[in-house]
Amino acid sequence: MATIGRFQKGDDIFHAKVIEGEIYRLHGDVFGSPTFDKKATPLKGVKTLTPVAPSKVIAVGLNYPDHAREQNKPLPKEPLIWLKAPTSLIPDGGKIEIPFPNHRTDYEAELCIVIGRRIRNVTPTAASRYIFGYTASLDISDRTIQNNETQYARAKSFDTFTPLGPYVETKADPNNLSIQLFQNSQLRQNSHTSQLIFDCFHLVSFISTNLTLLPGDIILTGTPSGVGPITSGDRLEVRIQGFTPLVNTVK
């Protein structure tokens, strides 16, 4: 499994391969055929960013049967999608800010697809060739707003509402991954991507028939059951099998 991160040192932003806690700077297009330094980059002064800077953040709703049941909603006949603002992204270690403390605001742990090539109208069979890799994400949701509006973009697009990372795993099997969320070390969500109603390849194909996807764009694939409210001081950890955990705190 190749692990790719995006980092900043001073004004320099770069991608690097991550091997046993060390980073090896990438040269060339991360979505093309890059080369990597053979010598690790010193970690002093290096900041971890979101692994990509997407032009689009696409979210998928009700994509696990148990989550649809806990929301008292029917299973979708085709993927339910909406756009989230890219300004909602924060990296591993970033702080989630609740804009309205009197609203219920929930965590949702999700596997995230990272697109690697420009896509328009591809079949599910061909979709894997356009995927760069996968990472962990959180779809933070203001339920008070969501339950009072007919679309979800505002409720899920506040600044800091899409933690992402820390790295992209380029060799993962998206159909065979456990996914868990821990809130203050307590297990809250515990599922497996084999339970997805629409798998990753189906999602990429479906979305590509509706809009063009560009390298670096991301698709949040939906959350399993067990969603719940967050409050200031919480520590949220998304664990996806074989991935470095995504950890964020709430203020």
What does pTM read for this prediction?
0.97
- Provide the residue type at 123 as one letter: T
Mean pLDDT of 91-103: 97
In terms of Cα–Cα distance, which of 250, 232, 219 is closest to 110? Answer: 219
Does residue 70 have a pLDDT over 70? yes
Q: Give how far Cα 211 sits from Cα of 122, 207, 208, 218, Å.
A: 11, 6, 5, 13
Does residue 1 have a pLDDT over 90? no
Q: Give how far Cα 248 sits from Cα of 10, 47, 92, 163, 238, Å.
A: 23, 15, 6, 7, 9
pLDDT, tens only, 181-236: 999 999 999 999 999 999 999 999 999 999 999 999 999 999 999 999 999 999 99
Report all structural domains of the chain as residue ranges with CATH numbers, in order of start. 3-48 (2.30.30), 57-250 (3.90.850.10)
Give the Cα separation of 92 and 161 in Å (integer): 12
pLDDT band at 48 (very low <50, low <70, confident <90, very high): very high
Which 3-state string (H, E, C) describes 2-28? CEEEEEEECCEEEEEEEECCEEEEEEC
SS3 of residue 246 by DSSP: strand
SS3 of residue 106 by DSSP: strand
pLDDT, tens only, 6-17: 999 999 999 999
Report DSSP state, residue 234.
-
- Chain centre distance of CA 124: 20
pLDDT, tens only, 126-178: 999 999 999 999 999 999 999 999 999 999 999 999 999 999 999 999 999 99
Give exposure, 64-76, as e/b (b: 16+ Cβ within 10 Å). Answer: beebbeeeeeeeb
| Dihedral of alpha carbons 197, 200, 205, 211, sign | positive
Secondary structure percentages of the chain, helix, strand, coil, to 5: 15, 40, 45
Backbone phi and psi for residue 186, each to the nearest 5 degrees, phi listed first: -100, 130
Mean pLDDT of 98-113: 97
